[in-house]
Amino acid sequence: MKPSLLLLLLTIFISSCEKPNPEAQKENLSGYWEIKTVEMPSGTKKEFGINIIVDHIEMKGDSGTRTKVSPKFDGTYNTNSTVENFTLKIEDDSLRMYYKTPFDEWKETVIEAKEDVLTVINRDNKIYSYSKYENVPLTRKEDF
């Protein structure tokens, strides 16, 4: 094998093994997220099709809120009054979301946070995969 080809393959391999940058992940958390799959610790997966509830994450520095919202046909959202506050910490080269409510405390570890993909693992070792959600308002025929 030619040395240049070997060097190219080695470079590709090393770059594909890089760990995600937790600081960069913070930049991608804000937005509306639609759950796609939940992988159980046993390896079984539950797939979600159409969702009537999505998660809205809003960041301010190293803290944020997560609210369940329901998209409406006009492009707006209904929300319940439940807001989960969290703080972000980088531990062991991973981004952690620490939640605290009057009833419970827990953390989630961010596995992946890109512009259109969010994957977290919770304390029960369930892996939640989300995709970015866009609420596209439906228009009436007369609007055309």
Summarised one tens digit per residue, pLDDT across range 124-143 is 999 999 999 988 776 655 65
Q: SS3 for 5?
A: helix
Q: Is 34 exposed, middle or buried (0-12, 13-18, 19+ CB in 10 A)?
A: middle
CATH topology of domain 22-134: Lipocalin (2.40.128)
What residues have CB less than 8 Å from 22, skipping those under 6 apart? 90, 93, 94, 95, 110
Q: What is the mean pLDDT of residues 1-13?
A: 48
Specify which residues 100 forms β-bridges with.
Answer: 105
What is the average pLDDT score of the chain? 87
Summarised one tens digit per residue, pLDDT across range 45-85 is 999 988 899 999 999 999 999 999 999 988 899 998 889 99
- Percentage of the chain modeled with pLDDT above 90: 69
pLDDT at residue number 30: 97
pTM: 0.80
Handedness of CA 107, 37, 22, 27 (dihedral sign): negative
What residue segments make up the domains of the chain, in order of their start? Answer: 22-134
Q: How far apart are CA 33 and CA 64, in angstroms?
A: 14
The answer to whether residues 54 and 133 touch, using CB atoms and an 8 Å cutoff, is yes
